[in-house]
A and B are shown apart, each in its own frame.
Chain A
Amino acid sequence: MKLNKRESASFRDPSGFLYWQEGELYRQVNQKYQGDYEMLMESGLYQNLVDADLLIPHQEVEVEPYDAENAYRIIRPERVAFISYPYEWSFGQIKAAALLTLAIQQRAMAHGMSLKDSSAYNVQFWRGRPVLIDTLSFERYEEGLPWVAYRQFCQHFLAPLALMSYRDVRLNQLLRIYIDGIPLDLASRLLPPRTHFNFPLLSHIHIHAAAQQRYAGQKLELDHPRREVSKAGILGILSSLEAAIQKLAWQPAGTAWADYGVTHNYSESSLAHKKKIVDSFLDRIAPKNVWDMGANTGFFSRLSSQRGIPTLAWDIDPGAVELNYQQCIAEKDENLLPLILDLTNPSPNLGWHNHERLCIQERGSAEMVLALALVHHLAIANNIPLDQMARFFADLGNWLVIEFVPKHDPQTQKLLAVREDIFIEYTQSDFENAFSAYYKIQEVEQIFDSGRMMYLMQRK
Chain B
Amino acid sequence: MKMLIVASAVFAWLRRDSAYLDPGSGSFFLQVLLATLLGALFVLRTYWAKIKQALSNLFNRHKPGDEDETE
Contact = CB atoms under 8 A, between A and B. Distances in A.
Interface of A: 146-147, 150-151, 154, 183-185, 196-197, 199, 202-203, 206-208, 210-220, 222, 227-230, 232-237, 239-240
B70 interface: no
A151 to B, nearest CB: 4
Nearest to B16: A214
Given A146-B31, A213-B18, A236-B39, A203 B7 contact: yes
A208 B30 contact: yes
Contacts of A207: 7, 10-11, 14, 30
Contact of B27 (A151, A228, A232, A239): A151
B22 A210 contact: no
Contact of A217 (B8, B14, B20): B20
A216 B15 CA distance: 12
A232 B38 CA distance: 8
6 tightest A-B contacts by CB? A233-B35, A236-B38, A233-B39, A212-B26, A236-B42, A211-B26
Nearest to A207: B11
Interface in B12-71: 14-32, 34-43, 45
Given A207-B30, A211-B26, A239-B42, A216 B35 contact: no
A216 B11 contact: no
Contact of A216 (B4, B19, B37, B45): B19
Contacts of A227: 28-29, 32
A231 to B, nearest CB: 8
B20 A216 contact: yes
B10 A208 contact: no
A239 B49 CA distance: 15
B29 A211 contact: yes
21 contacts: A146-B32, A199-B4, A199-B7, A202-B4, A211-B29, A212-B21, A212-B23, A212-B25, A215-B26, A215-B28, A216-B25, A218-B22, A218-B25, A220-B25, A220-B28, A229-B31, A230-B39, A233-B36, A233-B39, A234-B31, A236-B39
Interface residues of B, number: 36
A407 to B, nearest CB: 54
A232 B56 CA distance: 25
Nearest to B25: A215
A184 B7 CA distance: 17
Contacts of A150: 27, 31
A235 B20 CA distance: 30
Contacts of A232: 35, 39-40, 42-43
Given A211-B26, A215-B22, A220-B24, A146 B4 contact: no
A236 B40 contact: yes
Nearest to B15: A210
Given A208-B27, A211-B27, A212-B21, A146 B35 contact: yes
Given A216-B18, A240-B34, 7 more contacts: A146-B35, A203-B30, A212-B21, A227-B32, A233-B39, A235-B39, A237-B39
B21 A216 contact: yes
A183 B20 CA distance: 13
Given A199-B3, A213-B18, A151 B23 contact: yes
B56 to A, nearest CB: 22
Nearest to A229: B35
Contacts of A154: 27
Contacts of B16: 214
B36 A214 contact: no
A148 to B, nearest CB: 9
A167 B41 CA distance: 30
Nearest to B11: A207
B15 to A, nearest CB: 5
B26 A213 contact: yes
Contact of B26 (A147, A214, A233, A240): A214
A406 to B, nearest CB: 55
A235 B38 CA distance: 8
B33 to A, nearest CB: 8
Contacts of B15: 210, 213-214
Nearest to A214: B14
B11 A202 contact: yes
Contacts of B32: 146, 227-229
B11 A212 contact: no
Contacts of A234: 31, 35, 39
Contacts of B40: 232, 236
